[in-house]
Structure 1
Amino acid sequence: MKPRPRPSTPRRLLSAGIAVVVLSVLVFVNRPMVAFGADAYHDFTINRESYKEKYGHWSRLPVPTGFRVNAIHAAMLSTGKVLIIAGSGNNRDNFEAGTFRTVLYDPAKDAFNEVPTPTDVFCSGHTFLPNGNLLVAGGTKSYEVLEKNITHAAGVMKIKNEDPDGGPRTFPKGTTLLSRDGTAYRTRDDLTVPAATTMNHGDEVMTHAGEAEVWVDAVEAGDGPVVDNPAQYTVAGLTGEDERNVYGLADKITREKQEYGGDNTSYEFDPRAERYVRTGDMVQHRWYPTLAELPGGDVLAVSGLDQFGRMLPGRNERYVRDQKRWVDAPELKRVFPTYPALHLMEDGKLFFSGSNAGYGSDTEGRTPGLWNLKNNTFREVPGLRDPRMTETSSSVLLPPAQDQRVMIFGGGEVGESAVSTARTAIADLDEPKPEYRPGPDLPRPARYLSTVLLPDDTVFTTGGSSGYRGGRYGTKTRSDLFNAQIYRPATGKFETAADSTVGRNYHSEALLLPDGRVVTMGSDPLYDPSGRNPGTFEQRIEVYSPPYLFRGPRPVISGGPKSVQRGTTFAVATRDAARIRAARLMRPSAVTHVTDLDQRSVALDITPATGGLALSVPKAKGLVPSGWYMLFLVDGKGVPSVARWIQVR
């Protein structure tokens, strides 16, 4: 039997060419099928146990339509529920309609319910109090107005009262003030001007005028009423001595952009009653403030824009929690940009990492350092690479808190810049002369990066964008980052985590749940995914399950106290005592604008005990501030238990 002849080379090439053409046609015709196949393979890959054990896993949270809000703030409450605060949600129509929203999410039941929201707490400050209430203060009194939309000149006018005998003077909204040439301006709000005061200076009696400020708008539209220089104004209707004693002063009245104005309302959100409880008003109106808990349980409020959209020049104040009122703190005058990241250290000092949300001088108050609140001194901490790129960066007190190391992640140039950095840096604040030293670079430059402490002493980082609010100037393309990574302080390296599926930039949040997962929400991009149209607020919510949740059975805490004293030892019941390698008290998050001063992870000393373990709580107030914590037990594989809530007193 003769062997079959092989095809000639030209025939083989022709057959291959035909095959390529046919395959190309099939791919072109069936492109949706190919895409479907790729998606199916991707889904298969990310859902394999081996993949999840190494990279973790993302899932989408089904949010009922009626509970989809613009998440501006989020806090993990000691009831196990997540407080999601929108306020007006960066939406002028909502603000003008008085539509303010707050939603509670229960991860244990995947259930949502709405909470009445009394005022616009959009862009307020917040922190937890020792009793578990969330102090929420400041917010929005007025929305910004862009220059192109300003038809009537406006400005801040100071109304003076030089009469010490006539008492306070009250003027209703719409009171008219007149310039020397008769140009008329009207007040936006009701106003009370205190009486003048008299004081003896040696042998001379001096009168100090009472004063109050108010927005005024020109009655006539256009540029005619614009005033570029300081001038004095008379109050229409006043005559004689009244006319001379009461008058207005304004530095300028223009058609320039008007910034957001801060509110002075303050509340404690009660997690058990699930409602806002009004407290005393703040001394200053504040928009974009930081609230930092002090070792004794009171709270310091710093920075922000006042009711006229002006940066507060270092006027800070303190919340006296036992009296539920705010008091001025002139002894602690210090300038910071808005939403400065102030981390409470073991010795009671506050460390300003340099992270901030933006508004403020591009030079003053941006240098990292340790703030001693006992004498209002500030010790700069040098060494930060890319020192101008701290805006929209994030920072954390690395776990465990006893190490007293703070790490800063990414950030961007001052203002609406497209420039960002991949830089990280670590400051060891236990050193005699602390300074920032380089950490590992992020995979890509990032602003708005969320950073979440995990119970296995790692830091999960997710979201962010390389450009301002997810956009790039000049290209109008979205620059959201979907990569996530886990930083291990023990090795000083990042490990790759599973990619997220939702872009998160400005106005996004991430926080640790009691079951060890991480919930992410929010985002307020400039553009839609095409990069051509205005963006819409991201209302989808994702949940990330870290790799430790796929590495075997979890330890179980079967009993323990509901509250403990700082500096004491307490017992917890667990059948897994033999395999427990670490115990952590984790303070829950209260986060906005990737600023989260509350989260911290405190290591507890472990000793064997009958039926479980004995755990010792450090005694330093600055290390373990009073309040509610999630207690996690972690085994030798890094697998954590579900948390048990404990109040530290």
Structure 2
Amino acid sequence: MNNTQFYPRVHMLPGPAGNYSGKIFYSGMDTQSWLYDPLLGTPIWQPFPASVTHARRDYGNSLLLPATATAGARVLIAGGQNTSANNYSKSLACSDRIGDLLQLCNILASSEMINFGQTTPQWVSAGSMTTARVDANSVLMPDGKILVVGGENTCCSAQPAGVLDGEPTCLPVYTAELFDSATNSWLATGIPAPSATSAQRPRQYHSTAVLLPDASVLLAGGDTDACQIPANCTSQYPNTCPSGQIYKPGYFFRGARPTITSAPSSITYGQTYTINTPNGAQVTKVLAVDPARSGHPCVR
């Protein structure tokens, strides 16, 4: 690649054998995406698509959507901050954590998708989130939808006195939303606003969200806003929120859920396996999900 990449988002592309299966795709944060073929005699990064086609998304989200036996891989990018390319100068008008979020706090609600099953894959609009956000978490749900939760979207007018580099200075987003890739639509989930009695906590920089075995989602940790530190997040560590929450999506409340009576404890690549359930007549689709893992809150 032709410039330094900060918090790169990379995905190994799955899908049927073809031009892209097994290749590594870099989706951002800068405006040019790249493709890497590890099987070439002399592997190199190639601009892909060849032209700059999507917004810069500092601290945005990138997610590889579910693969099928016949469809090509798809990558979704959403939110983030559209800053000047390769400009890492400091600004007091926005987050000053290490000088990489800058000038106008241009936080995005838009999202884009690229489909590698198409003859000529290109970035196209995937609609806009109901709320602009940066530093959010995204989780692939068992029903194929994408949960986006947490982050921040309103910056302080000036860096507060005494705030150190490494502390966020933006106000939290408490709402969550779901993306439906079948319709390219976003829908707010209706998570209640924070109050003195609610379980809501800010989930900002360095927070995490992971899918649990029962298909609920664990939200945990994160810095809190240095402009307005919530009383319910104080701890021995300044401006951190050492707590967790469980989010249960709507499919928890749609009648009895199927049960699994037996399944292998482990499987190997390419192995045929059997899962037994007394609800087989009602089951129309089975989704295999990788074990949860989480790093920086920009990519899963």
Give TM-score scaled by structure 2 length: 0.75
Whether 2:159 is the aligned partner of 1:486: answer no
Whether 2:65 is the aligned partner of 1:398: answer yes
Aligned partner of 2:223 among 488, 512, 524: 524
Aligned partner of 2:150 among 463, 470, 476: 463
SS in structure 2 of the partner of residue 581 of structure 1: coil
Whether 2:202 is the aligned partner of 1:503: answer yes
SS in structure 2 of the partner of residue 548 of structure 1: helix
- The 8 Å contact of residues 445 and 466 in structure 1, kept in 2 or not, is answered as yes
Aligned to 1:87: none
Displacement of 1:348 in angstroms is: 1.4
After superposition, what is the alpha-carbon deviation per residue over 1:339-390, rounded to whole angstroms, capped at 9, x for unaligned?
A: 21110112211111113xxxxxxxxx762122222222413225644x23x1
Displacement of 1:403 in angstroms is: 4.0
Aligned to 1:13: none
Letter aligned with residue 547 of structure 1: G
Letter aligned with residue 404 of structure 1: A
SS in structure 2 of the partner of residue 446 of structure 1: coil
Aligned partner of 2:241 among 500, 523, 538: 538
Aligned partner of 1:412 among 81, 97, 100: 81
Whether 2:290 is the aligned partner of 1:587: answer yes
Q: Distance in 2 between matches of 1:412 and 1:480?
A: 15
- The 8 Å contact of residues 350 and 372 in structure 1, kept in 2 or not, is answered as yes
Q: Distance in 1 between matches of 2:255 and 2:137?
A: 27
Q: Which moved more, 1:472-481 or 1:509-518?
A: 472-481
Aligned to 1:371: 36
Aligned in 2, Cα 1:398/1:336: closer, same or farther, shift over 3 Å? Answer: farther
More helix by share: 1
Letter aligned with residue 367 of structure 1: Q
Provide runs of 4+ in structure 1 moved above 6 Å: none
- The 8 Å contact of residues 371 and 379 in structure 1, kept in 2 or not, is answered as no
Displacement of 1:569 in angstroms is: 2.8
After superposition, what is the alpha-carbon deviation per residue over 1:253-285, rounded to whole angstroms, capped at 9, x for unaligned?
A: xxxxxxxxxxxxxxxxxxxxxxxxxxxxxxxxx
Q: Distance in 2 between matches of 1:444 and 1:596?
A: 19
Q: Distance in 2 between matches of 1:345 and 1:570?
A: 24
Q: Distance in 2 between matches of 1:504 and 1:562?
A: 34
Q: Distance in 1 between matches of 2:63 and 2:267?
A: 25
Aligned to 1:576: 279
Letter aligned with residue 175 of structure 2: N
Displacement of 1:580 in angstroms is: 0.6
- The 8 Å contact of residues 451 and 459 in structure 1, kept in 2 or not, is answered as yes
Aligned to 2:91: none
Q: Distance in 2 between matches of 1:466 and 1:384?
A: 24
Aligned to 2:9: 341
Aligned in 2, Cα 1:377/1:545: closer, same or farther, shift over 3 Å? Answer: same
- The 8 Å contact of residues 13 and 24 in structure 2, kept in 1 or not, is answered as yes
- The 8 Å contact of residues 409 and 422 in structure 1, kept in 2 or not, is answered as yes
Aligned to 2:262: 559
Q: Distance in 2 between matches of 1:568 and 1:588?
A: 18
Aligned in 2, Cα 1:514/1:437: closer, same or farther, shift over 3 Å? Answer: same
Aligned in 2, Cα 1:391/1:559: closer, same or farther, shift over 3 Å? Answer: same
Aligned to 1:78: none
Listed as ranges, the gaps of 5+ residues in structure 1 are: 1-313, 315-333, 356-364, 598-649
Aligned in 2, Cα 1:487/1:383: closer, same or farther, shift over 3 Å? Answer: farther
- The 8 Å contact of residues 508 and 592 in structure 1, kept in 2 or not, is answered as no
Q: Distance in 1 between matches of 2:271 and 2:129?
A: 40
| Percent identical | 24
Letter aligned with residue 523 of structure 1: G
Whether 2:136 is the aligned partner of 1:433: answer no
Displacement of 1:526 in angstroms is: 4.4
Q: Distance in 2 between matches of 1:391 and 1:419?
A: 10
Displacement of 1:493 in angstroms is: 0.9
SS in structure 1 of the partner of residue 281 of structure 2: helix
Aligned to 1:472: 156
Letter aligned with residue 474 of structure 1: A
Q: Distance in 2 between matches of 1:584 and 1:526?
A: 38
Displacement of 1:587 in angstroms is: 1.0
Displacement of 1:449 in angstroms is: 1.4
What RMSD in Å do the two structures reach over aligned CA positions? 2.6
Q: Distance in 2 between matches of 1:421 and 1:535?
A: 28
After superposition, what is the alpha-carbon deviation per residue over 1:497-554, rounded to whole angstroms, capped at 9, x for unaligned?
A: 03262111111110100011000112213415269xx961111211100000011111
Letter aligned with residue 479 of structure 1: L
- The 8 Å contact of residues 32 and 52 in structure 2, kept in 1 or not, is answered as no
- The 8 Å contact of residues 484 and 497 in structure 1, kept in 2 or not, is answered as yes
Q: Distance in 1 between matches of 2:275 and 2:264?
A: 7
Whether 2:11 is the aligned partner of 1:353: answer no
- The 8 Å contact of residues 510 and 521 in structure 1, kept in 2 or not, is answered as yes
SS in structure 1 of the partner of residue 274 of structure 2: strand
Q: Distance in 2 between matches of 1:437 and 1:383?
A: 12
Letter aligned with residue 522 of structure 1: G
Displacement of 1:483 in angstroms is: 1.4
Displacement of 1:337 in angstroms is: 1.6
